[in-house]
Structure 1
Amino acid sequence: MEETITKTIIFKLNNQEYGANIDQIRSIERLEDIVSLPQTSDFIKGIINLRGSVTPIIDLRTRLGMKETEPTEQTRVLIANVRDVQVGLIVDEATDVIDISPEVVDDAPELVKGVDYRYMKGVAKLADRGMLLLLDLDYVLSLDEINQVQQVADE
C-alpha cells in the first residue's frame, strides 16, 4: 500500500517555519478586529464574526509558549477545524502550500525548540527548506480548552 502525499500549509511563528495538514484549514484570513473576552485562557484572544459565524481566535505563538508580538501586515489567521470546532489560529505569516511525502517525515523528538512534542506530528526534512515542524492541530487545544472555546462561540 502506497503512503500518501500530504498537502501541507506552511506558516511562520517566531521566524521558524511550521506545517499543518491543509485538510484542517478552511481558509486563510487577514487579522481583523477581535472582540476580547474576559476570563478565558491567555492564548484565547477573543472572537471574530467570520461570514456570520462566531469564531474563537487563538494566538498560536502564545499557545506554543512563545512570546506574543504585535501583528504586522503579514499576520494571518488560519481558520481551522480543531476536533469539529472552527477556530482561528493567529500566525506570523502563511507562506506556502506544499506536498510532503511520508518518507521525509520523522517522529517528533520529545523537545523541539521549546515546543511541546504533544503538539507535533513530526519533523519533515526538506531539501529546499531544511527542517519543518509539523503540528497536529487536533492537539493544539485540550478537550477542556475546546469546550471553553465552544462555550465562547455559543454565547
Structure 2
Amino acid sequence: MTSRTGSTAAAADAVQYLTFSLDGELFAVPIEHIREIIEFGGLTAVPLTPQFLRGVINLRGAVVPVVDLGARFGRSGTTIGRRTCIVILEVEAAERMLPVGILVDTVNEVLTTDRSQIEPRPPFGARIRADFMSGMLSQGERFVIVLDVGQVLSVEEMGGLIGLAVEEHAA
C-alpha cells in the first residue's frame, strides 16, 4: 500500500512533455511552456529577418512570430504538409511572457515521465546543437530530444525579433 506522502512525492517528480515530429525525429518541450496548438493556416513573411523566422500570424489580435525549427537547427526549412501545426509557446522576455510559435511536422502526444528518466544530453551524435537540448527521453526503441526552450528560442534574440515584427506589422 502506497502512503499518501509517497504518492505526493512521486507526483512531484512527474513531468509532462508535448512530443512532436520534425523531419523524422522526435522532440519534446515541457508542457508548462505550451499555450496552444493551432492548425497551419499560412503566415505573413517579415522582410529582413533571419531565415528561421518563417513569419508572423495574427492570433486573436496579437502578432505572434513563428520559428521554423528545421531552419533554426541549421537544416532546410520545414515543408508544409497536411499535419503541419504551429505550437504556441510562452517565452519569458523582458520580465513578461510572450507568445512564440514553432512550426512542426506533426504533434504526437503528451508524455508523462519521471524526472529520473530524463537522460543528460549527449555531447555528440545529435543533429542539433547540444545547448538546444536539455536532455533525452527513451520512448521504446527511439529517443526523444527534450528541447531547452530558452536556448532554442534565444529569449533576447526573439525579443528583438518580436519587436521588429510588431513594427513591420503596424507600418
**TM over 0.5, yes or no?**
yes
Q: What pairs with 1:80-91 in structure 2 (closer than 5 Å)?
A: 80-83=89-92, 84-91=97-104
Show the counterpart of 2:39: 30
Q: Which of structure 1's runs of 4+ aligned residues deviate more than 3 A?
A: none
1:48 to 50, 57, 75: 57
2:157 aligned partner, one-letter code? E
Q: Does 1:138 align with 2:147?
A: no
Task: Please tell me the root mean square deviation across aligned C-alpha atoms, in Å.
Answer: 1.6
For normalisation by structure 2, the TM-score amounts to 0.83
Q: Distance in 2 between matches of 1:143 and 1:22?
A: 18
For normalisation by structure 1, the TM-score amounts to 0.91
Q: CA 1:9/1:36 → structure 2, altered by over 3 Å: closer, same or farther?
A: same
Q: Which runs of 5+ in 1 are unaligned?
A: none
Show the counterpart of 1:101: 114
Q: Distance in 2 between matches of 1:69 and 1:24?
A: 22
- Greater share of helix residues, 1 or 2? 2
- Greater share of strand residues, 1 or 2? 1
The CA deviation at 1:153 is: 4.1
**What secondary structure is seen at the aligned counterpart in 2 of 1:151?**
helix
Show the counterpart of 2:164: 152
How many pairs are equivalent? 154
Show the counterpart of 2:76: 67
| More moved, 81-90 vs 145-154 | 145-154
Q: Does 1:122 align with 2:131?
A: no
| More moved, 135-144 vs 9-18 | 135-144
